[in-house]
Amino acid sequence: MHPVLTLVVQRLALGILLLLAASALIFGLTEILPGDAAQAILGQAATAENLANLREEMGLDRPALTRYFEWLGGIVTGDMGNALTNKLPIADQIAFRMSNTLFLAFWAALISVPLAILLGLIAVRYQNRWPDKLISGVTLASISLPEFMIAYILIFFFAVQLFWAPSFASINDGMTLLEQLHAISLPVAVLTLVVLAHMMRMTRAAILNVMQSAYIETAELKGLTTFNVIYRHAFPNAIAPIVTVVMINLAYLVVGVVVVEVVFAYPGMGQYLVDAVVKRDVPVVLTCGVIFAAVYIVLNIIADVVSILANPRLRHPK
pLDDT digits (tens, 9 = 90+) for 196-247: 888 888 888 888 888 777 777 787 777 777 777 877 777 777 777 788 888 8
Q: Would you mind telling me the total number of residues written for the chain in this entry?
A: 318
Whether residue 119 is contained in a domain is answered as yes
Q: 167 lies in a domain?
A: yes
- Tell me which range, 84-98, 107-121, 217-231, is most confidently predicted by mean pLDDT: 107-121
**What DSSP designation does 126 have?**
T
Which CATH number characterizes residue 221's domain? 1.10.3720.10
Percent of the chain with pLDDT over 70: 93
**Structural domain includes residue 258:** yes
DSSP one-letter code for 47: -
Query: 237, exposed or middle or buried, with CB in 10 Å at 0-12, 13-18, 19+?
Result: middle
In a domain, 40, yes or no: no
Distance, in Å, from the CA atom of 271 to the CA atom of 94, rounded to the nearest integer, reads 11
Phi, psi of 89 (to 5 degrees): -60, 130
Say which residue, 97 or 306, is predicted with more confidence: 97
Q: How many domains does the chain have?
A: 1
In a domain, 9, yes or no: no
Taking the model in full, what pTM does it have? 0.81
pLDDT exceeds 90 at position 85: no
**Which residues constitute the domain of residue 106?**
90-315
In a domain, 8, yes or no: no
Q: Does some domain include residue 16?
A: no
Phi then psi for residue 253, to 5 deg, are -60, -25
Domain contains 245:
yes
Q: Is residue 84 packed enough to be buried (19+ CB in 10 Å), middle (13-18) or exposed (0-12)?
A: buried
C-alpha span between 194 and 120 (Å, rounded): 15
